[in-house]
Amino acid sequence: MKLKKFGSIFLSVAMMASLGSCGNSSSESVVQQAIDEAETMTYDELVAKGKEEVGEDSIEVYGNSSALEAALEAFSASTGISTKNNKLGDTELYEKLTNTLANDTYVADMVLAQDGNKLQTTMLNNNLLLNYVPKDYVDVLAADDLNPTAAVYLNKTFMYNNTDFDGTNEASAKSGVLKDYITNIWQLAGTSADAGHIANPSFKTASQENINMNMLAMLTQDKWQQKLTEAYVSFYGKQPVVEDKYQNISYKWIGEFLDNCTFHSSDGTACKELAAGLGGSVAYVNFNKQKSLTEKGIGSYDNANVTTPLIEENGNVAGFGGFTYKMYTLIPKNAKYPYAAAAFINYILSVDGFSNAWGTKKGYYSTNPNAAIAEGDKALSWWKDNTVIEDPEYVASAYGDVYDFVTSYES
C-alpha cells in the first residue's frame, strides 16, 4: 500500500509539473511581458497600442454574461477596435478554455468568468488565464478585487413572501403583512419543533448550480463557523454539541438546511413562484431575479409580495443572509492581442463601461465604487460587509469535501 501511495503521489506531482510546463510556453512568456507593460500604461495609451496591434482583425472575448455584448459594442464604437463576443454558460466556457488553452491553442484575448472554484482549479492553478491589474484602477478598486481582478459582483439572498395569502383568501389578502420574518439562519435548519422554524425553503440544487455549491463551501471557513455558532447560541440558547456525522457547525447547518429544503431548477422561476405563492414561503435566489416580477396583486408576480430580509427596515439575519460573488476579468496565456484585451478590461471597469453593460439594475455592482447602483439597492461595500463573499482559493480547498457531503443529501 505504501508503494502504491508513493506511486500515486509521484504521478500527481508529474501531472502538475506537466501542466506547469504548459504555463511556461513561449506564447505565455510574450503575453505575460505584454501584461507587465500594460500595467504601466493608461487607458488612452492602451487603446492606441491595441489599435495598432489588432489592425483590421478583431479581439475574441468569451464570457457568460449577456450584458457583455453591449459593453463590447460601446467599446468598439469609441475606440475603433473590432470585437467578437462569444457567450457560453459556465460549464461550456470552462470546457472550451480547458480544451484549448491546455493545448496552447488560441481561443480568446480576454475572458469574463465567474465560479471561483472552477476558475481557481482549472485556470489559475495551471496558469491558463493570467491576471492584469490596470494602472488606472489599482488605487480605485478594493485590494480584494485585484487578484484576480474582478469587474462585477452579483448576489444571492434569501427572500420571503410577506403576504397573508393562504391559497383561499386572494380577494382579502394583503402584501407587507409579514415583517422581520427571518432573523436567524437557523430558522431554515433544525426541525418543526423549533420555535420560529420555517419549513421548505426553495434552493437550487447545488450539484447543478456551482454558485450555490461555492456558497456552501465558503460556510465552512473559520469565520463563518464562528458566525453560525453565534447564531446557533442566539437561536437555541445553548452551545452546539459535537456530532459525529458533522465535521463542524457549518456542516450541521448545511445538512439540516438541505434536509429541510425543496429544490428548484431555475432561480427566475422560483422567484416568480415565491411572489405568487403562500405567505411565509421562502426561496434562495439571485437578487436580480426580482426584475421579472412585473404583475400586480396577491397571487401574482408582484415585487410588493417579496421581502429580502437583509435589506428590510430592521434587516439583520444572524449567521448570514446571502452570498456575493464575482465576475473576473483575465487574459489567456496565449492571447493574440493582450494590449487590446487590457484596454477592454479598463473599459468595463470604467463608469461608462459598467453603465453601458449592466446599467443601474438591482443585483449588479461594479467594483469601481464610482459607478451608480440601482435605486433602493445597497452599495457593494455594504454587501461585502453583510454577506458571505466568494474566495476562490478557499472554495477550491474545501470544495471536494463539501461536494461529497452535499450530494449525499440530494440523492
Encode pLDDT of 308-345 as tens digits. Answer: 999 998 888 999 999 999 999 999 999 999 999 999 99
C-alpha cell at position 149: 481582478
C-alpha cell at position 54: 489588432
Say what the pLDDT of residue 316 is: 85
User: Residue 11 — very low, low, confident or very high, per pLDDT cuts 50/70/90?
Assistant: very low
For residue 148, whether the previous peptide bond is cis, meaning omega lies within 30 degrees of 0, is yes
Rounded to whole angstroms, how far apart are CA atoms 361 and 373? 7
Task: Examine domains 2-151+329-390 and 155-324 and report if their fold is the same.
Answer: yes
Number of alpha carbons in the 13 Å side-chain half-sphere of residue 24: 6
**pLDDT above 90: residue 242:** no
Predicted TM-score of the model (pTM): 0.90
Rounded to whole angstroms, how far apart are CA atoms 276 and 56? 52
Encode pLDDT of 351-363 as tens digits. Answer: 999 999 998 899 9
User: Residue 347 — very low, low, confident or very high, per pLDDT cuts 50/70/90?
Assistant: very high
Residues found in the chain:
411
Question: Which residue ranges make up each domain of the chain?
Answer: 2-151+329-390, 155-324
User: Residue 228 — very low, low, confident or very high, per pLDDT cuts 50/70/90?
Assistant: very high
For 113, counting Cβ atoms within 10 Å of its Cβ (0-12 exposed, 13-18 middle, 19+ buried), the class is buried
Domain boundaries 155-324, CATH class: alpha beta
The residue that leads in pLDDT, 295 or 16, is: 295
At residue 150, what are phi and psi to the nearest 5 degrees? -105, 145
At residue 385, what are phi and psi to the nearest 5 degrees? -80, -20
Q: Is the dihedral of CA 135, 357, 86, 390 positive or negative?
A: positive
Rounded to whole angstroms, how far apart are CA atoms 98 and 119? 11
282-286 and 58-63 as β-strands: parallel, antiparallel, unpaired? Answer: unpaired
Question: Whose CA is closest to 61, among 37, 45, 85, 36?
Answer: 85
C-alpha cell at position 43: 487607458
User: Residue 169 — very low, low, confident or very high, per pLDDT cuts 50/70/90?
Assistant: very high
3-state secondary structure of 87: strand
Question: Whose CA is closest to 384, among 212, 145, 210?
Answer: 145
- Reported in sequence order, the residue ranges of 73-201 that DSSP labels E, i.e. its strands, are 82-87, 110-113, 129-130, 150-161
Say what the pLDDT of residue 27 is: 62
Q: What average pLDDT does the segment 143-158 reach?
A: 97
**pLDDT above 70: residue 16:** no
User: Would you state the CATH architecture of domain 2-151+329-390?
Assistant: 3-Layer(aba) Sandwich (3.40)
Encode pLDDT of 90-138 as tens digits. Answer: 999 999 999 999 999 999 999 999 999 999 999 999 999 999 999 999 9
Rounded to whole angstroms, how far apart are CA atoms 380 and 374? 11
